[in-house]
Structure 1
Amino acid sequence: MRSERDEQFHRFVVSRRSGLVRTATLLTAGDAHLAEDLVQSVLTKLYVAWPAFRQADNPEGYLRRVMVNALTDERRRWWRRREESMADVPDLPAAEPARQGEVADGLRAALKQLPPRMRAALVFRYVYDLDVADTADALGCSEGTVKSQTSRALDRLRVVIGENPAFAHR
């Protein structure tokens, strides 16, 4: 028989997991496997800290902060530095993607070239439309850092996208 805490957590996971995976996929620049690992890590940490999460003044901010911290922890793992994930088997030729797919792939590739914190700043600011203060809270930094990281990230993306032929006729 489940406790009330377990029931609350179960309902939370059922209602929020797909959104967490979507956010994690953006934060990992499209690495679906790392995104799944990240969500699992976040849910584990959240279960342990469930009473604190339930009492938080800003549960959404708490959740974003746990996710960014889990991503940072994941990137620091020694085996992650030696491992290179591949979405497709490299020995097989890739099928010709549709134009829309090329843009999505190009954008993911461009995002992948950004450091994780710059990518997170862009995702929170422009995908989730958070203001500077909420983004700073999620990243655990100052508002000035969010502004400079966002500006630098956009500059880098402009260069990368400008060099990518998939975006040439946009």
Structure 2
Amino acid sequence: MEFDEYVAARGQQLVRLGLVLSADHHRAEDLAQTALMNAYRHWRRVRAMDDPHAYVRRILVNAYLATTRRSSSHETPSELDDVGHPEPDPSLALVEHDAMWQMLATLPTRERTVVILRYYEDLDYAAIATLLGIKDSTARASVSKALASLRAAHDPAEGHNR
């Protein structure tokens, strides 16, 4: 597969993963672009892999995790005034799930990442562990802890019953 074919087939999927991880459309595009730039530099080697998309997805996840660790990445964009050429808001499709996305955003970076990889990307625990460079049991424990936090945030009374 040539690089442009890969981008046409998987580019939007990478942007969606970036959006779910970062909850910011512009940052999601930056993450996808970073992953694709890094993959392009080594494309001959990447396309020879068993699963090139897994490698590019790992680049994107690592880029996201790296930006959350940097102190300079704590920028908060200000609201833009209406500039006369409104773009469709990509988050409108997520309105039904807004409460869940807000709760996901409250999770620590690692927990949010493992939940998204498990339930949004539908990866098994072994794949998550490989992608993040952690043990299988750590991936399971992180998902379990994150889900418990989400349950407690959704129903505070349930968190006290445990």
Whether these two folds match at TM > 0.5 is: yes
The secondary structure found in structure 2 opposite 1:141 is coil
State the match for 2:72 in structure 1.
79
Answering whether residue 30 of structure 2 is matched by residue 31 of structure 1, we say no
Q: Give the alignment of 1:1-170 within 5 angstroms.
A: 8-28=2-22, 30-81=23-74, 83-85=75-77, 101=95, 103-162=96-155
Which structure ranks higher in relative contact order (CA pairs < 8 Å, sequence separation ≥ 6)?
A: 1
CA distance in 2, matches of 1:155, 1:113: 13
How far apart are 1:138 and its partner, in Å? 1.5
Q: Deviations over 1:22-53 (max 9, x none)?
A: 1111111x211211111111111111121221
Query: Retained in 1: the 8 A contact 2:20–2:116?
Result: yes
CA distance in 2, matches of 1:87, 1:129: 33
Gaps of 5+ in 1: 1-6, 90-99, 164-170
CA distance in 2, matches of 1:31, 1:86: 13
Percent identity over paired residues: 35
Aligned-partner residue type, residue 20 of structure 1? L
Aligned-partner residue type, residue 158 of structure 1? R
CA distance in 2, matches of 1:62, 1:70: 12
Gaps of 5+ in 2: 82-93, 157-162
